[in-house]
Structure 1
């Protein structure tokens, strides 16, 4: 059995998919959900700097979540915040939340391609030092029928997901292919986490269970 790591990893997310990615990667981690008002964060950013690009939005929200949780985390804790934003036709989309919005999204996306941007921000709760990155994956959707869209939306799966789809659930049947990292579409790219850990001088191997 591996020794307990010197640093604790704390995931600032309620996403089952992100938790599963870290679990499958064999990492020690705990979870604490952030209390960030995403709409307020975005409104403040727009007021200060103007409209945000999709990738910038993903990183901004990932940082806000990490910093929110880090404010109450202990020393020797690295807090990972993540956020995903889907982009199609140059327009950024978050979670659809409602069935009518999810249905409209899928009618727009079917047979086409978009880009899923996932922001990652890793902050040392003891020092306040943080580093971030965004990874992007192109997603190619199948020509799904209206009946398939209605059935998928009725399942409830797409409502809390960026862009209104998942690749690790029912939605996988409607995704023909991707260009880029598979985990990134789930919302957490372990390869990018390894790079962020290295910037904190923490090897990912020290977090292996």
Structure 2
């Protein structure tokens, strides 16, 4: 939970920095990125034979957890009505309105994070399948090499294993934190190919006897 909260806050910080300091069109560009990534995610879900709505539902659910359950969404709706408020409410309203653009960026960024999490989840079965196939091929090569009197290599095994973790973490961070529009297929396909090579290498040089 704390890890996820850390990721969410880090995403907000990246979005705030890019929107207010880098992009001339600011929040409008972030909205267009959300729309583009959502369209790609829904298309990927449909291509896999799934339900495109799962991407939208994930984004909306994450938004609801962060902003609806905490009352921030309802607070904004109430303040937008312009009705008379008590003095404490007026202070809160003025503070809210003074930071409304930052709050809106956080809201859009949260939905964008939900879209990307759902899209990455769609790639998970493919990556698992590749890992299983490559691992089986690597173990087969190990058995052949052992039968021929070849050596295992603990060094290659551990290097391949650690590189897989680093590769997956890097790909995940790029997908979640990249401030521009992300087509996960352009990240997922090279990631899958490299994962297959490293997985095969890992299990082909597995040192211990199974």
Which band: TM-score by shorter chain? under 0.3
Q: From the two aligned structures, give the one with the greater strand fraction.
A: 1
TM-score (norm: length of structure 2): 0.27
Greater relative CO, 1 or 2 (CA 8 Å, sep 6+): 2
